[in-house]
Amino acid sequence: MNKSFMALLIASAIAAGKAEAQPKTFIGRSQPKIENRALTPELLWAMGRIGGADVAPDGNSIVYNVSYYSVAENKSHTVIYSQNADGSNEKLLTTAKSSEVAPQYIANGTRIAYLGLDEEGNMQIWSMALDGSDRKQLSNEAEGVDDFKFSPDEKKVILVKTIKYGKRTSDIYPDLDKSSGRVIDNLMHRHWDEWVESIPHSYVADFDGNAIKNSTDILNGEPYECPMKPFGGIEQLAWSPDSKTIAYTCRKLEGKDYACSTDADIYLYDVESKATKNICKGEGYKRPSVDYTESLKNQKVNDRSYTGNVVSGFLLSGYDTNPAFSPDGKYIAWQSMERDGYESDINRLLIMDLSTGKIQQLAQSLDTPVDSYAWSADSKTIYFVATWHGTTHIYSVNLKDNVKQITDGQYDYSSVQLCGKKLLCGRHSICDSHDLYLIDPAGKKPVVQLTHENQYFRNNIDWGTCEPLWSKTVDGKDLLSWIILPPNFDPNKKYPTLLFCEGGPQSPVSQFWSYRWNFMMMASQGYIVVAPNRRGLPGFGKKWLEEISENYGGKCMDDYLSAIDHAVQSLPYVDKDRLGCVGASFGGYSVYWLAGHHDKRFKAFIAHDGIFNMEQQYLETEEMWFANWDMGGAYWNGHPKTFENSPHRFVDKWDTPILCIQGEKDYRIVTSQAMSAFNAAQLRGIPSQFLVFPDENHWVLKPQNGILWQRTFFAWLDKWVKNPSKNN
């Protein structure tokens, strides 16, 4: 369930630009009154959120998105800024009430293309001068444009558009055009937070410098997503340097196959001939027959001996995504997961020699997934992002597979791209919100901060600190926890303390910055936070990562308990009589499970969108590959280790107040899970509360809902953890 956060930011920004979401007033950067130098939920929502960025061809300037929120209007707004690549001359380019997003330099860096609304309320591609003037509408697509990418010669452009998928009731029975019913005959009828009635398709269109015309569907009407939902974006498509070929990512499956398989491939589309080639499957490949109620781990679909499943010695059965041609056109790189059905498999960095078809894996020595990456200008090096031991940094690797770490420190770098002879990167930490930085590829010059989006808040709020704490697990392994301390911390005092349980389930507890699960917010309310990198997280090797699959209630739960026990024993300021436990998604599962196994350690629990009943979850979720891999297949095929550890089986041992939170548009972990947990607690006479959002998905994205989430969260903790004596 770990997905790209930056892709979500772009998707959210585009959605915010739809006509129905327009705010009444311009929402921009603000400096609200700050009382007592304290971080509050309202201040958190007042901060700007930096999104995607682009670099001018000469590397001397950048253009980027920032999103702002209005709690009063309950809406967001995204604007475009530019500045010099040394951090000077920041300029707001867009001042419309509607959002304008996805800025890209065109015309040799003399203009900026972006997405904005037309008179019909549809997103179209526009261009403007570098100072924001002289705006011109370039596209006029009836269905609007969701994203775009110009070819290197700027004679063509890729358009991502939304098209209709499947039949509506009115298509089957035209006389029932007002019926709200849906007739469903296959799986994946809904995904993430929507009923699947439309999908993205990618088109290639002509551009003469003034207008975009003659768009052609590169999938030729095929019923598949490109980019892939729910989080894929324009990073899943790439132009060759000669502008003759488009590489795109696609999982050409439907229904049950789509719901149960992660087998996405990289395709090369010849713009002139319209011919398409799959570079991830050998000739004569035929998808093997599999039993989707059994785990795919040992089935033939992942067998290296299966004809056509291996290319140049590499098994390419899982997610193959995010292609990028080398600047000299000799290679294509992409991220590749080896095994079908395992969405948290190690992301390998592969390159193919386009003249020979030979594939090479780079950065093999790291034993951790490779994330965002970029080619060097001379095509001899790739810069990439990877997580190790709770921090995410920039690395380089040459074609001889020599890896070098470029950045260090207690930070997370989230993206990397060339900026002249340097690298433009996004960076944040538990203590700092996201900004853009300039990095020396040789690692010899200091890192330069370019944007200071939330400097007002940094200057006028007292911030907590974050420290690493290593401890031993029950089986003698090393376990890293982040310890977040309150502002104006006094080591001689005793503090209420929260055990944070990570989601994913295989997402790192790194130096991430969140606008809801924000550790600084928790610390500002007077809590210490213990955030362990328990079993099942990347950044500690493949073996550590995979110990969670089919073993949800196993050593990963032991890790949580040993981490909080070690904190109590080794940190004198942790109050053992005021402990709370909180988490979302798999963290919510963890909370429900620990509620039945904590031996009275905790005074209160909070579970957000967590799995309560594993058997229920197996048949309720939408992405069946996840359930099959992590649970080991269907419960009726005999997988007692997984399903016997379902939290609902231990409700008889629940004895502690619990808050259950759920979004009703969450189709990944549906509302019945939290409702069942709350009802069970109520029936057992356990103090409990149910916070439900009819219009939110797996996350809480609307400003007023976010404020309500924070207020309910801390009211519960203050009542049962911070001041437990008042309830006796």
Q: Which pLDDT tens digit goes with each residue over 548-559?
A: 999 999 999 999
What domain count does the chain have?
1
Q: Which pLDDT tens digit goes with each residue over 209-264?
A: 999 999 999 999 999 999 999 999 999 999 999 999 999 999 999 999 999 999 99
Alpha carbon distance 609, 193 (integer Å): 13
Mean pLDDT of 168-190: 95
Mean pLDDT of 95-99: 94
User: Quick one: tokens of 560?
Assistant: 């949580």
Alpha carbon distance 351, 349 (integer Å): 7
Distance of CA 234 to the CA centre of its chain: 15
- Residue 49 in this model has a pLDDT that exceeds 90: yes
Residue 288 pLDDT level (bands cut at 50, 70, 90) = confident
Q: Which pLDDT tens digit goes with each residue over 561-574?
A: 999 999 999 999 99
> Does the residue 437 lie in any domain?
no
> Does the residue 23 lie in any domain?
no
Q: What is the pLDDT of residue 551?
A: 92
> Does the residue 131 lie in any domain?
no
- Specify burial of residue 45 (Cβ count, 10 A radius: 0-12, 13-18, 19+): buried
Q: Which pLDDT tens digit goes with each residue over 643-673?
A: 999 999 999 999 999 999 999 999 999 999 9
Q: What is the CATH number of the domain that holds 566?
A: 3.40.50.1820
Name the residue among 246, 53, 77, 86 with its Cα closest to residue 152. Answer: 246
Q: What is the pLDDT of residue 24?
A: 87
- Residue 19 in this model has a pLDDT that exceeds 80: no
Distance of CA 387 to the CA centre of its chain: 14
Q: Which pLDDT tens digit goes with each residue over 128-144?
A: 999 999 999 999 999 99
- Residue 190 in this model has a pLDDT that exceeds 70: yes
> What is the number of other CB atoms lying within 10 angstroms of the CB of residue 86?
11
- Residue 283 in this model has a pLDDT that exceeds 90: no
Q: Which residue has the higher pLDDT, 545 or 16?
A: 545
User: Quick one: tokens of 61?
Assistant: 């300037």
Q: Which pLDDT tens digit goes with each residue over 434-476?
A: 999 999 999 899 999 999 999 999 999 999 999 999 999 999 9
Beta bridge partners of residue 294, listed in sequence order? 633
- Residue 201 in this model has a pLDDT that exceeds 50: yes
Which strands, in side-by-side order, build the sheet including 111-117? 101-106, 111-117, 123-129, 136-137
Distance of CA 93 to the CA centre of its chain: 28
- Specify burial of residue 248 (Cβ count, 10 A radius: 0-12, 13-18, 19+): buried
> Does the residue 312 lie in any domain?
no
Q: What is the pLDDT of residue 21?
A: 59
Minimum mean pLDDT among 286-295, 334-343, 571-580: which range? Answer: 286-295
- What percent of the chain has a predicted confidence (pLDDT) above 70? 97
Are 338 and 346 in contact, with CB atoms under 8 Å apart? yes
Alpha carbon distance 471, 473 (integer Å): 7
DSSP code for 719: I
Mean pLDDT of 704-722: 98
Phi, psi dihedrals of residue 430, rounded to the nearest 5°: -60, -30
Are 586 and 502 in contact, with CB atoms under 8 Å apart? yes
Mean pLDDT of 705-720: 98
Name the residue among 655, 652, 557 with its Cα closest to residue 600. Answer: 655
Q: Which pLDDT tens digit goes with each residue over 206-219?
A: 999 999 999 999 99
Q: Annotated catalytic sites, by residue?
A: 585, 666, 698
- Residue 20 in this model has a pLDDT that exceeds 70: no
Q: Which pLDDT tens digit goes with each residue over 489-507?
A: 999 999 999 999 999 999 9
> Does the residue 649 lie in any domain?
yes
Minimum mean pLDDT among 4-8, 158-162, 465-469, 696-700: which range? Answer: 4-8
> Does the residue 340 lie in any domain?
no
Mean pLDDT of 41-57: 98
Residue 728 pLDDT level (bands cut at 50, 70, 90) = low
568: domain range? 462-727
Q: What is the mean pLDDT of the chain?
A: 95
> Does the residue 40 lie in any domain?
no
Mean pLDDT of 150-158: 98
Q: Which pLDDT tens digit goes with each residue over 24-35?
A: 899 999 999 999
- Residue 642 in this model has a pLDDT that exceeds 90: no
Q: What is the pLDDT of residue 1?
A: 37
- Residue 193 in this model has a pLDDT that exceeds 90: yes
> Does the residue 92 lie in any domain?
no
